[in-house]
Amino acid sequence: MKVHVIDKASPALEKIRAKLPKGAKTNLRRAKKAAALIQRYAKRIPGKLRDEISQSIKIHAGTTTGAVIVKHPAAYQREYGGTIRPVEGETLSIPIKPGTKPRSGMFRVKSKSRDPNTVGVLGIREGDAFIPLFVLRTEVTQHARPWFPTLRTLGEAVQSEEMQMLREAGI
């Protein structure tokens, strides 16, 4: 995901922006402000993904633009949703209960589900009972769970930084 922090705005705002100092230093300040906001929004994501996404946020500032880049692939997946397929192997192992860990003695049972993406279940035997632990699927569709700040919110953050720069410049 990449967000350009400098965008075209209303003519009145463009006149004010024209008074700002030009160059990478100004764009860096804008990008840092946007990145700080994106970091705060990333902290709302539950689990270890929160830290991974927060650490993947990078800032780029050139003489004409500033950008905030979120390099973690799950950031886009979480924002927009999509289909997850196995990278290695034939299936994804989806725990039936959160926090389930693989155990020794697990074996595969063919699925009785009518869902063509569910191919089996991994579980263990306890006495005469079969205890299912993981569902084996060829793909999983994840719905969008937006976490990224809206462009309006980002714009307001960048504008507040621009106002601070104008005050510092005595304008």
Is the domain of 95 the same as that of 60? Answer: no
The three-state secondary structure class of 39 is helix
Which sign, positive or negative, has the C-alpha torsion 91, 96, 101, 105? negative
Per-residue pLDDT reduced to its tens digit, 114-145: 888 889 899 998 888 888 899 999 999 989 99
CA dihedral 157, 162, 163, 167 (to 10 degrees): 140
In angstroms, rounded to a whole number, what is the distance separating the alpha carbons of residues 110 and 121?
6
Domain that holds residue 125: 83-141
Is the domain of 116 the same as that of 156? Answer: no
Tokens of 115: 């869902």
Is the domain of 49 the same as that of 117? Answer: no
Per-residue pLDDT reduced to its tens digit, 30-70: 888 888 888 888 888 888 888 888 888 888 877 777 788 88
pTM for the predicted model, two decimal places: 0.65
Number of domains in the chain: 2
Is the domain of 37 the same as that of 87? Answer: no
